[in-house]
Amino acid sequence: MSGLKIPVSALERGAYEVDASVPEEELRPEGAKQLALGVTRVRGRMTTVPPRYVFLGELTGTYFRECDRCLADTEVVFRYDVVWTFQHGVAPISADPASEQELDETDSGETETMFFEGAEIDLGLPAWEELVLLAPSKTLCQDTCAGLCPQCGANRNESPCDCKTEEDPDEFGNDGLSGLANLFPDLDPKDSKE
């Protein structure tokens, strides 16, 4: 039991408070690709808005990522507000956009009604979908991360190296090119024509 399954019978007596902390392996649907996640806390309140049930809450937790520049282990803390709408029964075969708009109990038009069967509502699946959808596409250990040196591989946050790269135009661009031009004047088209 993850604490994310809400018995419909409990909702008949009014609102239902949810506060559950769920590890990734309990949240992950069977067959889904693993997410590098810590324990996710799902907090909020389910209320009955006939014929629907509306969950208003938040997800908090941590993604475990690698910095895109220096590969350092990086924790990305998240907090997502969620509004999930459920309805008992089978989903209509063709979703009618007009009927969706009649749902005026929540001011968030972006939520879709999720249909469920049986005696309980499972918050695990929408929580998982949210976490997959909102997983960061870019991760930096810090905004100013200097990354790895492409030549020697040193982590420039920890040990600046002496490698010259195209990222240092002052050191390489000016001195380097004029030095080459002096050694091989024929290589510079401007000098050779004049």
> Could you tell me how many residues of this chain bind Zn ion (CB under 5 A)?
12
Residue pair 80/59 in contact (Cβ under 8 Å)? The answer is: yes
Residue pair 36/28 in contact (Cβ under 8 Å)? The answer is: no
Nearer to Zn ion, 32 or 71 (CB): 71
Residues in region 163-182 near Zn ion by CB under 5 A: 163
Half-sphere exposure of 162 (CA within 13 A, CB side): 0
Nearer to Zn ion, 47 or 62 (CB): 62
CB count in 10 Å sphere of residue 38: 15
CB of 47 to Zn ion, least distance (A): 43
First CA to last CA distance, the chain: 83
Measured CA to CA, the distance from residue 143 to residue 189 in angstroms comes to 41
Nearer to Zn ion, 18 or 72 (CB): 72
CB of 161 to Zn ion, least distance (A): 3
CB of 150 to Zn ion, least distance (A): 8
**Residue 101, burial from CB neighbour count under 10 angstroms (0-12, 13-18, 19+):** exposed
With CB under 5 A as the contact rule, the residue among 82, 114, 121, 145 that binds Zn ion is 145
Residue pair 83/106 in contact (Cβ under 8 Å)? The answer is: yes
Residue 146 interacting with Zn ion (CB under 5 A):
no
Measured CA to CA, the distance from residue 94 to residue 85 in angstroms comes to 18
The site map against Zn ion for 41-70 (x = CB under 5 A) is: --------------------------x-xx
Residue 161 interacting with Zn ion (CB under 5 A):
yes
CB of 116 to Zn ion, least distance (A): 43
Nearer to Zn ion, 103 or 149 (CB): 149
Residue 152 interacting with Zn ion (CB under 5 A):
yes
The torsion angle over the Cα atoms of residues 158, 159, 164 and 170, rounded to 10 degrees, is 70
CB of 172 to Zn ion, least distance (A): 13
Nearer to Zn ion, 41 or 156 (CB): 156
In the complex, the residues that contact Zn ion under the rule CB under 5 A are 67, 69-70, 72, 141, 145, 149, 151-152, 154, 161, 163
